[in-house]
Every structure is written in C-alpha cells, then in structure tokens.
Structure 1
Amino acid sequence: MDEERIAALRALPKVELHLHLEGAAPPAFIRGLGQEKSVRLDGVFAEDGSYAYTDFNHFLTIYEAATSVLRSPDDYARLTLAVLEKSAESGVIYSETFLSPDFCGGGDLGAWREYLHAMREASEAAERTMGITLRGIVTCVRHFGPERAKRAALCAAETAGDWLVGFGMAGDENRGSQKDFAYSFDMAREAGLRLTSHAGEWRGPREISDALDDLRVERIGHGVRAIEDLALVDKLVENGIVLEVCPGSNVTLGVYPRLSAHPIERLRERGVKVTVATDDPPFFHTTMADEYERLAKTFGWDEEVFAQIARTSAEAAFCDEDTRAALLKRLG
C-alpha cells in the first residue's frame, strides 16, 4: 500500500464505539502518575515501556494494577484529555467510552457524580479544542459479580442523560452468565439508557444469544464468534444488531492467530452491521488509524468501505439525535 493511500485512510473521519477509558491510558501517562503518587507499578511495564502481560487473565490483572494510580476526579479528567488527544490524532471525531463506577469512587454514588463531572468537563474542553465528541457508557465488571453490578447500574441510572448514554458489561466473559446481570440491565433500561454487552469474544455463539435474549441489548461488544453459527448471524442481520468489532485486540489476545483469519469481512459480507474499534489501544499496540491501515492491507477495503463503517457506527451510536445528525454531516 502506497504512502498516499495510507495517509488518506488515516485522515478519514472515524467513529469509535468500543473503547475502555482506563485501557486507553498511554503507558507514559500511567507511569508518570505513579511517580507523582509514589506508587510502585512492579510488573506493569515491559522493558520498552509498553504494558506487559502474557494472556487475557494476566491482561485483566495488569489493567487493574495500572488503574490503581487513578485515584481522584482530577486524575480521570487528565486521563480523559490524554485519551482523546490520541484518538483525535487518528481522525476520530466521535467516541463512546466505557466507564466503571467500580474504578471511579468504588461504586459510591456521590463519588461517582464527582468523577463523572470531571470527565465530562474534560471531554467538553477536548471537543472545543480538538473537535472530538465523547459520550460515556457505564459498565459493570463481570468478574466482580452481580451484586457489585447493581451498584454500577444504580450509578448509571441516577446520572443518565445527554452525556452518560449507555450501560454495558465488560470483564471476564468466562465468569458466570449473562442472565446473572439481568436486574442491573433492567434498571439501566428503565432509566432510558441504551444497552450493550461484551459477548462472543472468549465464549462461543451461545453467549451472544444469551446477551440478546437475557439482557435485551442492541449492540454486542466483540461478537465475532457469531460466525460459528450462521443461524445466529442471520438473526443479527434480521434484528439490526450492531457488533463493536476490535480486530487488533482479538489478534493480539489470541482469539484469532492473524488478521487474515479474523471473521470481520465474512460477517460484513453476510450483512451484519460491523463497526471498528480499538478496545484498549496501547495494550494492543494499535490506534484507529492502524486498524484502518491493517484492514485495508488484509482485506482490500477501500475508502468507501470505511466510510460506510463510519456511517454505521454513527447510526448505532447511543447519542441524541442532534449529535448524530452533526456526526453524519461531518462524515459526508
């Protein structure tokens, strides 16, 4: 691929729907914050300064260790600006980020309000200076269990609005079942929040069906293993379910051995609404611009394919209609 085409792909306006705020923290930012607070981060970083982990479970451990230096609303305001700066460099004009009250005040509603206010103020400053819009999706953490999920859902329900727009679930997909968290998702739905859940990354197609049937979500985080059940693929198409696909993440963590084996193109060809996202970009040595470049090289996608994916992402965003209309206008 020539340099001119690479530059054109990087310059395309992009919409990202699957981004964990803490997981998007630049390693240098976390290291610097640790030094400021005299917090030891043994084992978190490799010799080259990147995050160090061996497999998915170890990744979760390192993720939570890195997050331990984020201890105040101001820390999260600074984090928000650092993450949005990196996203804007890749041409992202709109992003939805996963936020966990478990990490922002330990699930206490009063503390959560302070963290949320700080993140929102930072995002509004970034919108003015960088031209990137951010919205928040509260996530419960699956391996923390259903009871703590209820506290996260209460925080989400009490702060739902034009900035906090969704509720979802992340964490270890191999722990428990989707239906264990139905109460929390019902609470969020009643508060007017839109719903998504991680499913079909580590467990197979049944996990995706469970998220749709038991939690009644409209988007699926990852969802790539739906390709193993073509009847489920047809169901996704028929119901307009959107997949938040993170190809670089899936390959780095070993869900697929290489990008050419990833099912995103087969899903798209069968009519599934796929979007492209980075998940936890510095952990997986990627950016939205990198994702576009690698997909173009691997599957031969041209600018029109990426433009359609960006439009699909904007149409599936959980934002209000005025924000969506502005996004679609920017996408052209």
Structure 2
Amino acid sequence: MSGGLVLYDVPGPRARRRQVILAIVVGLAAAGLIALVLHRLNAQGQFEAKLWDPLVNPSDKNFAAVWGLIGDGFVNTMKAAALAIAFSLSLGTVIGVARLMLGRWTRIPLVGFIELFRGLPVVISIFFASRVLPDLGVDLSGWPGGEGLWFVVIGLTAYNSVILAEILRSGVNALPKGQSEAAVAIGLSRLQTMGIILLPQAVRIMLPALISQLVVILKDTSLAAVLGVYPEMLNAAKYIYLNLDNPIQALFVVGTIFVVINFALSKLAGWVERRLSRSKRSPGQDTDDEVRYITDTAELAQ
C-alpha cells in the first residue's frame, strides 16, 4: 500500500458538501444566538457607560480603585497558584515515586490516599482545610500571607498532588523496562535508578500533561471565592460588583484575564509538545542513546 495509514474513510464529494452545509448552519445558529444575547443585554442597559467606565475609562473616579482591587486579586491569585504548584509538584513526585517503589501490599494505604483525594471535588478539599483544620487546633493565622492563603494552598495541593503523582507514574511506566534492568545491572540502586534515570525521562515525556494540570491549578484558585476564604481575583470582582452594581462587566473583565493567562499556558504546553515530538528519533538510535545515557549517568553517580 503506497499511501499513509488511514484510520477512517476519506469523505467523498457529497459528504464534504454536507459537512460544509452543516458548518454554515451551525455558524449561522451561533451568530444568531450571540446576536440575541447582545440584543437582550442592550435592552437591559448592560452596555451603558456608567457600568463599564469604572473598568475601562481611566478618567472615571472609581477606575484606580477598581483596578487596584483587581491588581491585588491578581497578585493573590498568582501567589496561591505558585505555592500550590510548588507543593503539588514536590508532594506529587514523592507520592508517585513511593507508589512505584513500594511493594504490592505496603502501597495499599498510599493507593487509598490517592483514590480518596482524586475522587474529592477541589472545593470540598478547600472547604475541609478552612473548616476542619481550625477545629483540630491547627492555627495558620500567623503564617505568611494569612490563613486564607494557606487554606487554598492546602486544598489545591491535596487534590493536585495525587493527580500529578499519577501523571508521573504513567510517564515512568511508559519507559522501556530494559532501562531499569540495565541500570541495576551496572550497579545503581532502585532509588538511584528512579531518581537519575527514569524520573527525568518521565518528566520530559509527560511535560505537556504536567503543564496542562498546572493550568487547572491556576483556574481552581477561583474556587476560594465560593467559600470567601481568600481575596483572590474572583473575590475582587465580587467586591467590585457588589459596590458598583455591574456584575456582568466585572466578571467579564476578570474572566478575560483568566482566559489570557490560561491561553498563554496552553500555548506553552502545545509548544513543548511540538518540540518534544520533533526531537524523537529512530528506534535503533534511541536504543544506542539509552545505553550511553544510562552508562554515563551511572559513572556520574558513583
């Protein structure tokens, strides 16, 4: 067969024509829906200047105060996201490595821990941290940033660390088994094999998935606004529209900021994935490089 591998039937002229017609119909329906929404918003006065000026007009008396609140919320959002990402990556790596290295029976409690927090909604994890920890006598009010910050970080870390652990575990399991055997054969311990041979390669393989999960962590910081435990960006928007009576406008601006940040991170994940795809080489060459890599790494470790 001369052509490339085809996993589906190539559509003929009639099928392509139907696809074009369907795309046009869907596009017109979407345009009509958007026009209807805009018309209803306009009828309710949602495009009046008094609602938008505090957000877009620098000469408005509330402009500086509004963007001061949004700026503080942005900083708090980035702070919570950065801490949650750092702790989730660290704890996730420990959990993932432990699950890979522990025996069948000794890892049962760890698997139970992973399944518990993976099945819990993130908002419940944050709520648990903010309500249960104080009842247990855990006082975080003296910690840098205040207790609200750490409630969010603990809740996000509890959920995302187990997700990242499973991503790393999948990356390690995707590597050729011969690498572990070769590393042990030249004198590396299991921990050395995991730390300097397998884990770096697993991170490289799963980097797009890891970055995508970091995007999720950033978005999940907004759940703090539901509980009112931390003044992040969505909470700032809530404070703005409660005082200026412009919820659609305030949420639109804050939502746009989230979209821009997450779009940039998603583009970064796509760029990393393309770079990694271009760096793949032939199987024979990969095998030679694997042997050389393991040997060189073992010499450095000894």
- Normalising to structure 1: TM-score of the pair? 0.20
Name whichever structure is richer in helix by fraction: 2
Structure in which a larger fraction of residues adopt strand: 1
Higher Cα radius of gyration:
2
TM-score by length of 2: 0.22
